[in-house]
Amino acid sequence: MNDVETGFLVKICGLSTPQTLTAALEAGAEMIGLNFHPKSPRYVALERARELAAIARGRTQIVALIVDWDEKEAVALAETLKPDWLQLHGRETPEQVRAIKAATGLPVMKALGIAGREDLAAIETYRGSADLILLDAKPPKDAAYPGGHGRTFDWTLLAGLDPALRFMLSGGLDPANVAEAIRIAKPAGVDVSSGVESAPGVKDAGRIRDFVVAARAAQSSNEEAGRT
């Protein structure tokens, strides 16, 4: 595994079977995500999540995705699942982010929805409370659950961000477009879910491998370009 504070990160989110989890591990993903939002097609019950975490532990960083939970709920999950990270994907305030982080003792990744330039202001608001920012596409207004819903946003919006900011990029990424996304946005990592699926919630091992390979190649190209 890379050092999450310095290395480039590839995260495969919404995993729900040992087979596809193994594909993510064998491909070398630094992070895997387990989704605890009941309205998502990628939801996993706690017992299944514990089985998957047992396979992944020590081989990758385990991220538990939660939406608008309070500290008590987050602590109970942290004690039972023992993830490496919590991913807050709801409307949590910076104060709630800090409270959950303090209560659980876990690093926290905060997802922020981006549709236009005006949405970038939230990055600085959360930068001091979250350990890592995840920039995702804003969901449709009538969406039943948060997240990018397979849609991208204009990556050129991120060109003016502080170069020192470590953020992950999500929203509509797949094996075909992740290289372009990395070239334009220059993130510290990429996060994919629906882009490596054959149907909603059904991960495809081949697409997982293709995504990781494409992301690694693109990051190597970015680093090479930065040295010349």
pLDDT tens series, the chain, 228 aa: 567 777 899 999 999 999 999 999 999 999 999 999 999 999 999 999 999 999 999 999 999 999 999 999 999 999 999 999 999 999 999 999 999 999 999 999 999 999 999 999 999 999 999 999 999 998 766 655 555 446 799 999 999 899 899 999 999 999 999 999 999 999 999 999 999 999 999 999 999 999 999 999 999 988 877 776
* pLDDT at residue number 160: 87
Query: 13, 84, 174, 191: which one is catalytic?
Result: 13
Alpha-carbon dihedral sign for residues 86, 87, 90, 92: positive
- Those residues whose C-beta lies under 8 Å from the C-beta of residue 169, and which sit 6 or more positions away, are 134, 135, 155, 158, 181, 182, 185, 187, 189, 190, 191
Contact, 24 vs 55, CB < 8 A? no
Query: Residue 9, CB half-sphere, CA atoms under 13 Å: how many?
Result: 30
* pLDDT at residue number 195: 96
- CA separation for the pair 147, 170 (Å, rounded): 9
- CA separation for the pair 12, 195 (Å, rounded): 10
Query: 3, 84, 131, 136: which one is catalytic?
Result: 136
- Those residues whose C-beta lies under 8 Å from the C-beta of residue 212, and which sit 6 or more positions away, are 10, 12, 24, 27, 28, 29
Is 136 marked active-site? yes
Instruction: State which fold the 9-227 domain adopts.
Output: TIM Barrel (3.20.20)
